Structure 1
Amino acid sequence: MSLPERLFQLQQHGSNVRTELLAGLTTFLTMSYIVFVNPEILGTTGMDPGAVFVATCLAAAIGTTVMALAANFPVGMAPGMGLNAFFAFTVVGASGLPWQQALAAVFISGLVFLALSLVGARAWLVAGIPASLRAAIVAGIGLFLAIIALQKSGVIIANPDTLVTLGALNTPPPLLALGGFLLIAVLEARKVRGAILIGILAVTAAGWLIGDVKYQGLVSLPPSLAPTFLQLDLPGLLHHDGGAPVAVLLQVVLVFVLVEVFDATGTLYGVAGRAGLLKLPGAGRRFGRALLADSSAIIAGSLLGTSSTTAFAESASGVQAGGRTGLTALVVAALFLAALLFSPLAAMVPGYATAPALLFVAGLMLRELVDVVWDDLTEAVPAALCALAMPFTYSIANGLAFGFIAYAALKLGTGRWREAHPAVWLVAGLFVLRFAVE
């Protein structure tokens, strides 16, 4: 029996080495855009982009390897979209925490996430949150990413009278960003693998052709990880006077945990179900290992110097290509390690080249709104408030707070309080406490 067969039970899953290799390549191409987007986003906090690039690749490789060997799932992992934006623009930008303390908050959320997974509370929490609110959270994060993308590209700009207005579309950044967005959409519609990556590289190349991007080479040894490695400031975060106020710490950790729980758990269920893995013998045990791998990856990422690592929904592309085992994930991990050599290319990518990727992912996330129960106002109103508050208050945390508090209040006010799961009352109460002690 070959080593791949012993490790991944390929025959039992109806797969073979060639199929798994192709599936791994497919998954990597669809999620590799994160190695360009994540350093650009986290770089706005003052973090060294080169170090973040290395941390992103290593966190993705470590998390995906653990997923492959521990759970035997064809799921790729990397720092998540939405979570990196919350880290950069809300935790560091709006709340004012140094990025070192923000990394400490990610570390704490990883420990909480791990504890929830070990005691089974993670499944209780996911099952307790109403479908309408879960859909609104995903859609709201999408809207948050959209406004960031439109700002970064100059498509929208500040206006003293209307807050925002249309930017100068006759200048290169917004033109190239919108062109890149349309290119990605066309390629995705034509089922081209790696459409988002192609879009980023095409806009970067266009920027180079017009002299807006300086060529720095394609391949070199990876930058130093030292500027972010083990730089999390846990004492500073926990110290009441010199660190984060209680309200800020509560909000940050709570939001990280909630988004991690919904995003990662939903992705794992979706990808594993699509691959038919939930029907196999021992599926429950393997899924539990996948949850632990997911939780551990968050902790590892915070130590390396990046925002929360999570399971990527793009893994479904590899499943569509036939991936059924952890060998698919192992290929993804190996390719993320190989990506370490392309740091000069990552350093060349301008903000308006990553904006199309953000905007396209945002559009995909809005599809979740179809799962809101629009015929029931006690479901629809909190969901709408949750989704709208995220971009308009520039905070995922505020959107979550408004959504959960409104849901609890409407169920209570209409005499239907028994319909609200205890998890809803718990989360709503924590957000009320956050506002009360702020």
Structure 2
Amino acid sequence: MAAEPTATMEPMDVETPAPKGKEEPKEPETVMEKIVDNLGVMPDFTHLSLSDPFHLKKRESNWYTELRAGTVTFLTMAYILPVNANLLGIVIPYKDDILVATAAAACIGCLLMGILSNFPFGLAPGMGVNAYFTFTIVLQYGIPWQDALTAVFFSGLFFLILSLVGLRTFIVKILPRGVQIAVGSGIGLFLCFIGLQGSQGMALVVANPATLVQLNTPLTVEGNYDASKMWLSVVVLILTATMLALKVPGAPLVGIVFGTLVAWSECWARKDDSAFNYPIGACNPMQNATELADAGCFCYAPDKFAETANIKNTANVFNWGAVKDPGFWVSVFTLLYTDILDSTGTFYAVAKRAGFTDSKGNLPKGNANMAFAADAIATIIGSCLGTSTVTTYAESASGVVDGGRTGLTAITVGLWFAIAIPFAPLLSEIPPLASGPILCIVGALMQKHINEIEWGDVEEALPAFATLVLIPYTYNIAYGIIGGTFFWIIMQILLMPVRLIKKEDPFIKFKILFGIEPKAEPAVLKETAEVEESAPPPADS
């Protein structure tokens, strides 16, 4: 009696025919088809379906988890509301308008991100690029702030073009493998560094003229007025980490809410005598009320629930005559490449943390370009409203860690920013001591893939390490990517003569980088041919 055929008995190379009525996806054949396929210029909107909206079932998520993750992401990003207004307010004398523009641009960017790409990424005016806008373009170059906003508009426009034709996706693919992996870990260290500082975090690290940074000592309340904030931050950190270990849903959100309520309650109760006064290093209990006011001391607590918001002075203030100034275009292209590298690095790192990349580290085709386009459109709209470049935030990883896997997370972040427009007085008072510990935890969790770097391979390890350390040490994601990539390129160029002497392909690493299969060496081909000739003829079937 013959045995019935099983799946294991079928040849490995036999293709299963496609079901009737359905066609197998056609593999690209011509060079042009391969280019289009690699660039991923064809959008993918399959998540906009009624059967499985936003691929909740496919990505094993649910509405509640996405809403909670979006809330966590928003709370870790909420500091941008007062920070961006204060920073741009140095050169734009309309802080209230800037705050509304910040929230509105972030809202639109997040909604576009969720709807177009189905990625759980939050967007807002970027830290670092807003400092470049203020201190370099306006104060150093002497360009009026209206012209600077015009430069942001043009950079966003070029950004959109590069996104739609797929060149930004191409940039991700041509980064050396070690650099690609190191970007995520580098951003994690960057987030942790931000979270440890006083202005946006736990106040454990302060500046030192000799060593650049040091521990904020002493750690006793009697000797250091900032110790109270530091210890409450540590409590939030330990509480959140413990809940994560116990797999408590929404652990980061619980930690942020706990720290915020403690700080608010203490500030309302003690007012000028609060133990949680900011800024770091400027306040101490020996100062009287006048001295505290002169030092700009304050504690985080809302004094109003909401207020009417509008933009009167920063919307649509473009100066098109600025295009005649060569310095204007230097600003445009500096903003452009900085945003490309910053957002690309963040995209890759957060997507990898969420499990969206394939075995080769590629982002999903058709989704990546739409995500980049959402980023670019948000920058264009933000410049029209009166804020600097909008970019994808590394803090999005906090929502991913909390379970966010679809565009609903991004949409939730956008809705929170919409709510923040009238409720900015309430939401902008989340103290750094509550959000800083979450950034540190997220930074630690982003080290997950660092062991994938081939540390035994110097050609991969050293450029990866350069990327890893330059991101936090230069306080700039773009500089880390540039440093690591150029390190790799220079090494490969210097190794070319050695490879030629050894009769090896001098471009082998570049070919691998661009996905070109290297040809076998002549010696290998000859050896293979000799083996085939000496092999016995196949037996007759």
TM over 0.5: yes
Selected match of 1:221 from 282, 300, 307: 307
CA offset digits 1:375-394 (Å, max 9, x no partner): 21111111111221233334
> CA–CA distance in 1 between the matches of 2:325 and 2:353?
40
- Asked if 1:239 is matched to 2:285, the reply is no
Q: 1:298 — aligned with what?
A: 379
Please give the residue correspondences for 1:16-95 in structure 2 after superposition, counting only pairs within 5 Å: 21-43=63-85, 45-47=87-89, 51=97, 53-70=99-116, 73=118, 75-79=120-124, 84-88=126-130, 92=134
- Asked if 1:255 is matched to 2:335, the reply is no
Change (3 A) 1:394 1:67: closer
> CA–CA distance in 1 between the matches of 2:195 and 2:228?
15
Selected match of 1:200 from 234, 239, 256: 256
Please give the residue correspondences for 1:251-400 in structure 2 after superposition, counting only pairs within 5 Å: 251-264=334-347, 267=350, 273=356, 288-304=369-385, 305=387, 307-310=389-392, 312-313=396-397, 316=400, 330=411, 333-400=414-481
The structural deviation recorded for 1:343 is 1.8
The amino acid of 1:296's aligned partner reads I
- Give the structure with the larger helix fraction: 1
Please give the residue correspondences for 1:6-25 in structure 2 after superposition, counting only pairs within 5 Å: 8-11=49-52, 21-25=63-67
CA offset digits 1:197-235 (Å, max 9, x no partner): 433333333333162435324631354444654567787
> CA–CA distance in 1 between the matches of 2:493 and 2:356?
35
The structural deviation recorded for 1:402 is 2.1
The structural deviation recorded for 1:286 is 5.9
Q: 2:212 — aligned with what?
A: 163
Selected match of 1:131 from 163, 177, 187: 177
The amino acid of 1:362's aligned partner reads G
> CA–CA distance in 1 between the matches of 2:211 and 2:57?
56
> CA–CA distance in 2 between the matches of 1:226 and 1:368?
47
Q: Using structure 1 for the length normalisation, give the TM-score.
A: 0.74
SS of 1:161's equivalent in the other structure is coil
CA contact under 8 A between 2:169 and 2:369: conserved in structure 1? Answer: no
The structural deviation recorded for 1:285 is 5.1
Please give the residue correspondences for 1:406-425 in structure 2 after superposition, counting only pairs within 5 Å: 406-415=487-496, 416-420=506-510
> CA–CA distance in 1 between the matches of 2:487 and 2:79?
34
> CA–CA distance in 2 between the matches of 1:354 and 1:102?
31
Q: Using structure 2 for the length normalisation, give the TM-score.
A: 0.61
Q: 1:174 — aligned with what?
A: 230
**What number of residue pairs does the alignment pair up?**
401
The amino acid of 1:151's aligned partner reads Q
SS of 2:469's equivalent in the other structure is helix
> CA–CA distance in 2 between the matches of 1:179 and 1:413?
51
Change (3 A) 1:231 1:354: farther
SS of 1:136's equivalent in the other structure is helix
The structural deviation recorded for 1:34 is 4.1
CA offset digits 1:30-52 (Å, max 9, x no partner): 31214522224424524376555
Q: 2:239 — aligned with what?
A: 183
> CA–CA distance in 2 between the matches of 1:391 and 1:327?
30
The amino acid of 1:254's aligned partner reads Y
CA contact under 8 A between 1:34 and 1:79: conserved in structure 2? Answer: no
Identity score, percent: 26
The amino acid of 1:164's aligned partner reads V
The amino acid of 1:174's aligned partner reads M
> CA–CA distance in 2 between the matches of 1:379 and 1:257?
23
CA contact under 8 A between 2:120 and 2:408: conserved in structure 1? Answer: no
> CA–CA distance in 1 between the matches of 2:306 and 2:112?
27
Q: Which moved more, 1:376-385 or 1:133-142?
A: 133-142
CA contact under 8 A between 1:220 and 1:341: conserved in structure 2? Answer: yes
- Highest CA radius of gyration, 1 or 2? 2
The structural deviation recorded for 1:164 is 2.0
CA offset digits 1:248-304 (Å, max 9, x no partner): 765443121122224336656875849xxxxxxxx9556654443343233333434
Unaligned runs of 5+ in 1: 275-282, 425-438
CA contact under 8 A between 1:222 and 1:341: conserved in structure 2? Answer: yes
> CA–CA distance in 1 between the matches of 2:238 and 2:398?
19
> CA–CA distance in 1 between the matches of 2:69 and 2:326?
43
> CA–CA distance in 2 between the matches of 1:349 and 1:396?
25
Q: Which moved more, 1:114-123 or 1:40-49?
A: 40-49
The structural deviation recorded for 1:328 is 6.6
Change (3 A) 1:179 1:67: same
SS of 1:414's equivalent in the other structure is helix
> CA–CA distance in 2 between the matches of 1:288 and 1:110?
14
> CA–CA distance in 1 between the matches of 2:195 and 2:379?
25
The amino acid of 1:77's aligned partner reads G
SS of 1:420's equivalent in the other structure is helix
> CA–CA distance in 1 between the matches of 2:334 and 2:376?
19
> CA–CA distance in 2 between the matches of 1:260 and 1:316?
17
The amino acid of 1:157's aligned partner reads V
